[in-house]
Amino acid sequence: MDSKPTPTAEAKRTLEKAKGEELGEFQRRTLDYASKFSRIPAAKAEKLVKDLAEKFQLERKDAIQIVNTMPRYTEELRTILTVKGKIVGATELENILKLVNGYRE
């Protein structure tokens, strides 16, 4: 079984499909968390991850973190991206936010 980082919304969709089967305690708690904190539907989340990675040369896991939090302000976005010590300019942050806002519901 391969593993790869996925947005919270994708984890929610996967667990909802398995809901008919017996979910363990960990899966039920994860589904509860994903249901509460998924910001956009899974299909939109995956598309946004790809767009962020391609347009802004972000690593998949950084794009996923952006999708999971759906930041509204450049300060929030800067916090996510500077963890790795990468300096991102104000213009690029604004462009990322514009893309994220286009997916917001």
**Helical spans, DSSP H, in the chain:** 8-17, 25-37, 42-56, 60-69, 74-81, 90-103
Do 51 and 99 lie in one domain? The reply is: yes
Domain presence at residue 64: yes
Do 33 and 19 lie in one domain? The reply is: yes
Do 53 and 97 lie in one domain? The reply is: yes
pLDDT score recorded for residue 77: 93
Residue 70 and residue 97: Cα distance in Å, rounded?
Answer: 9
Do 33 and 65 lie in one domain? The reply is: no
pLDDT score recorded for residue 3: 80
Do 55 and 85 lie in one domain? The reply is: yes
Give the whole-number percent of the chain exceeding pLDDT 70. Answer: 96
Number of domains in the chain: 2
User: Residue 56's domain is classified under what CATH number?
Assistant: 1.10.150
pLDDT digits (tens, 9 = 90+) for 28-72: 999 999 999 999 999 999 999 999 999 999 999 999 999 999 999
Range of the domain at 21: 8-37
Do 14 and 32 lie in one domain? The reply is: yes
Do 30 and 52 lie in one domain? The reply is: no
pLDDT score recorded for residue 105: 75
